[in-house]
Structure 1
């Protein structure tokens, strides 16, 4: 599988400003039989990193630092959501429409999640198995919930619409990824 690595830059929703986090950016790249996602958090001095919990599905990961990928399709209401945590817990859901018809999405094996935290920057990497992802082409929403030590949560996405953050808004799915070219 081959497609060009795709960079992204997220913006913080104005209703929930970050205290110390300055920027969240990253890239999506092919990785063998997986899709690698990397988020870089600049200004991570006060970042809350969920404690290691071991691999496994878990709900409500977004209640602390969590990284998310939404995959939709142009002209269709349904979409998939992937929540990836530094704790190594993860979740995958399918929806028939915006926040409607949620069910667990089957995965052939668990995504891998790793986090490295430095003095002022953190890197979160995840690799999601391609066989667990929807059919191509994709309109993606990439997002992050960032919690800082004082309990402040900021909500980062490619685009924001509305007075409150809503990563499920299909208007936020602005990153187009075409089907990869097979060698």
Structure 2
């Protein structure tokens, strides 16, 4: 399948200090779904320290990258939180913020962060077996922490007065099921 590019918008209630843009791409492959977020204006980016692979809750309280995957016709969705610390989390919801359970993952996601002078790249690979069956409505987002504890919230779109990545209105990226060969 072809990569799909995306551009995230900063929620107007939480403007960034120096971050100028967050863009990226989602690439479904046979065994993995690869995501890349590029942060321009990353001079003051706060990157969580390395913690090693493993599940962890509350990753969104620091710089964190998120993927929401929903069935195009239903209310249920899965959430994946991916941290530059290499920690991750995966949850299932029956509806918006309801029925949360830990989502099983047969293999751990792979997370890699590279930071330059003014730009940073966060790459993640999620095992396809950890994801719901395609097609999907996706929400892609990021919590960006800058020096001084300032956080900005980035998503494909924002629907309310406060950032809410769980709002189904934010799941705007359509990913089709692969075509049979």
Residue equivalent to 1:84: 82
SS of the equivalent of 1:147 reads strand
Between 70-79 and 138-147, report the one with greater CA deviation: 70-79
TM-score by length of 2: 0.98
Per-residue CA deviation, residues 47-103 of structure 1 (Å, 9 max, x unaligned), is 000000000000000001000000012221110000000000000000000000000
2:163 to 150, 157, 165: 165
Between 29-38 and 125-134, report the one with greater CA deviation: 29-38
Alignment of 1:3-14 (within 5 A): 3-14=1-12
2:152 to 148, 154, 169: 154
TM-score by length of 1: 0.97
Give, in whole Å, the separation in 2 of the partners of 1:153 and 1:100.
Answer: 25
What's the RMSD between the two structures over aligned residues? 0.8
Give, in whole Å, the separation in 2 of the partners of 1:181 and 1:23.
Answer: 33
Residue equivalent to 2:95: 97
Alpha-carbon shift at residue 180 of structure 1 (Å): 1.7
Residue equivalent to 2:26: 28
Give, in whole Å, the separation in 2 of the partners of 1:88 and 1:74.
Answer: 30
Where does structure 1 differ by over 3 angstroms across 4 or more consecutive aligned residues?
A: none
2:118 to 108, 117, 120: 120
Give, in whole Å, the separation in 1 of the partners of 2:47 and 2:150.
Answer: 13
Residue equivalent to 2:107: 109
Residue equivalent to 2:40: 42
Give, in whole Å, the separation in 2 of the partners of 1:156 and 1:39.
Answer: 11
Residue equivalent to 1:174: 172
